[in-house]
A = this chain, B = another copy of it.
Amino acid sequence: MTKIVIVGGVAGGASAAARARRLSETADIIVLERGEHVSFANCGLPYHIGGDIRQREALLLQTPQSFKRRFNVEVRTFHEVIAIDRAARSVTVRVWPNGEEYQERYDKLLLSPGAAPVLPPIPGLDSHGVYSLRNMPDMDRIMAALEQDKPAHATVVGGGFIGLEMVEALHQRGIKVTLLELAPQVMTPVDPEMANMLHQTLVNHGVELRLNTGLSAVVPQAGVPAAGDGRRLELHLSTETTLATDMVILAIGVKPEVRLANAAGLELGLAGGIKVDAAMRTSDPDIYAVGDAVETPEFVTGKPGLMPLAGPANRQGRLAADHMLGREVSYTRTQGTAICKVFDLAVASTGLNEKRIQSLGLAYEKIYVHPASHASYYPGAHPVSLKLLFDPQNGRILGAQAVGKDGVDKRIDVLAVAMRAGLSVLQLEDLELTYAPPFGSARDVVNQAGMVAANVIKGDERICHAEELLALGENQWLLDVRNPGELKSIGQIPGAVNIPLDELRQRLDEIPKDKEILVTCQVGLRGHVACRLLRNAGFNARNLSGGYKTFEMVTARY
């Protein structure tokens, strides 16, 4: 009878427990969870704060009782594992609130401790009104503060997933919000120009966005009444300014919980997570680790990386249970596919972003498209702004990012599958995707991205990027083939000459033969037609990928 002890009862730990029981009716399975809850919906916490999820109970997916009844798994909450004795194959458990300790023996141990919010050494973080959000009690504290302190203004520190979700949640509660982000962009999994669309929607919704700005200190203001006119906290910022606020949500990031593993002498990896093999085993073959605490090979490069995501955590938990009970398994690499709702927009990505590709020194090309989420003549269509990164030689998909109001999840899912299956961008135009006017287009967003990328690889389209247009060379000439009304109403790139596409064939004599023609339109489609026309007529032309819309995304400053 195998005795399996699982440390941490959320996501990976809960998956492993249920899977282990399905494989073995006789295994002894114990889950030790230091918190009050197991298997709660941690991804749902901001949505309960914001009011989208009305019932707190909806977030409690399982209880110790339900786990016992259904899976005959012993779940002990308020049980914190504080040490591992690998030689004796036992863990030391401290039981809260009384602090009693006992030893629990194991045959197989699974560590699923998750990741903890990063809390830098900033003075004043222990002040009343400063919160982070990791679990149900954190959420309850924030909810209570909203009720009791009635903050008029809140400051969210950090523009990642949780930070952005909290900005929206607080905004929905009628609270004025400032978002501080130390980096020049929110949502670092995507590149800056994609993040700029999020910056715009944040500002449009009345959020005060302060990029390149960190928090240096929190100073409680004495004598300010609980729900009075003055702000209760003064924030000192890295920009040498101050900000008065009533509530601070720290969402700077998370770091893997490796204390226990490290103390037990388990090997940590290069990225700072617990090192595991393809069976999710640590350096001790009887100890497994899964979820946000471990590092796994990144899909494209195979390099170890931290990917604190729910999907991989659940998969890993299942695999660890399989392996403990004698099955052969092999965890596949992690693509890091992720999505976040930011007000009316969704932002999603898979694979590597351009920043990371550049830091790795990989050869790459990128293209942008902005097609409608479904047939543009059917109501409710919105552009999907998609960036596709690929190997310019063989067309291997390196990564993809998308932002839009509708259909973003679907396109990144399709590209994540194509990437995982090893399809090249040359094969994307042939994908047969569902089409009827309410759902897509005969040439879907992904097909169009594939056609553009294929054109680039085959040399049918030579492209340029916004950065280049900001510093035109002597022998370059910028042509905008949109209609004059568009330039006027939408904007234009300085120095561009305007010849509408439909007049281009008749006005070729206005274009210098001895210069390289850089062509732009609104989204890159007319520019492509113009470039083909120009090149077939003997000109040397390149098209701005994604057109003026991408140019705006690249050059906007918030």
Q: Please, what's the 1-or-0 string for A392-431, where 1 marks a CB less than 8 Å from any CB in chain B?
A: 0000000000000000111011101110111100000111
A309 interface residue (CB < 8 Å to B) = yes
Across the interface, A418 reaches (CB within 8 A) one of B315, B412, B421, B430, namely: B421
Whether B378 and A53, one on each chain, are in contact in the complex, defined by CB atoms closer than 8 angstroms, is yes
A127 within 8 A of B: no
Cβ–Cβ < 8 Å partners of A59 in chain B: 377
Whether B421 contacts A417 by the Cβ 8 Å rule is yes
For window 1-29 of chain A, which residues contact chain B by CB distance below 8 Å? 11, 18, 21-26
The interface stretch among A105-113, A244-252, A438-446 is A438-446
Residues in B whose Cβ lies below 8 Å from that of A350: 432, 434
Give the contact stretch, choosing among A83-91, A225-233, A258-266, A531-539. Answer: A531-539
- Which one of B18, B47, B421, B442 lies within 8 Å of A11 (CB-CB)? B442
Q: In the bound complex, do residue A412 and residue B434 qualify as a contact, i.e. CB atoms below 8 Å apart?
A: yes
A432 to B419 CA separation, bound complex (whole angstroms) = 10
* A residues 513-547 touching B (CB-CB < 8 Å): 528-529, 532-533, 536-537
Question: With A and B bound together, what is the CA distance between A495 and B61 in angstroms?
Answer: 32
Q: Are B434 and A348 in contact (CB under 8 A)?
A: yes
Contact partners of A52 in chain B: CB under 8 A: 378-379
Q: Is the CB of A70 within 8 A of B410?
A: no
Top 9 A-B pairs ranked by shortest CB distance? A421-B421, A25-B536, A339-B434, A310-B442, A69-B502, A58-B377, A22-B532, A337-B432, A410-B410
Task: Give the chain B neighbours of A429 by CB distance below 8 A.
Answer: 315
Contacts of A502 in B (CB 8 A): 66, 69-70
Which residue of the partner chain B has the closest CB to A503?
B69
Chain A 27-50 residues near chain B, CB threshold 8 A = 41, 43-44, 47
Known: A11-B442, A44-B378. A432 touches B537 (CB 8 A): no
Q: Given the complex, which residues of B lie within 8 Å of A444, measured CB to CB?
A: 311
State whether the Cβ of A341 lies closer than 8 Å to any Cβ in chain B. Answer: yes
A528 nearest CB neighbor, chain B only: B22
Contacts of A341 in B (CB 8 A): 436, 438-439
**Nearest CB in chain B to that of A57: its residue:** B377
Closest to A45 in B: B437
Cα-based distance from A437 to B432 in the complex (angstroms)? 27
Distance of A332 Cα from B430 Cα, bound (Å): 7
Given contacts A379-B53, A414-B417, contact A409 B434 (CB under 8 A): yes
Q: Which residues of B contact A410 (CB under 8 A)?
A: 409-410, 413
Q: Is A312 in contact with chain B by the CB < 8 A criterion?
A: yes
| List of B residues within 8 angstroms of A457 by Cβ | none
On chain B, the residues within 8 Å of A23 by CB distance are 460, 532, 536
Q: How far is the CA of A311 from the CA of B420 in the complex (A)?
A: 24
Complex contact A529–B440 (CB within 8 A): no
Question: Is A416 a contact of B437 with CB atoms below 8 Å?
Answer: no
In the complex, 8 of the A-B residue pairs with CB atoms within 8 angstroms, ordered by the A residue number, are: A22-B533, A25-B537, A43-B435, A43-B437, A70-B529, A311-B432, A311-B444, A337-B432
Contact for A47 among B70, B378, B433, CB less than 8 A:
B378
Bound-complex Cα distance A502 to B23 (A): 17
Given A53-B377, A410-B410 in contact, is the A433-B58 Cβ separation under 8 Å?
A: no
In the complex the two chains form, what is the Cα distance from A475 to B489 in whole Å?
77
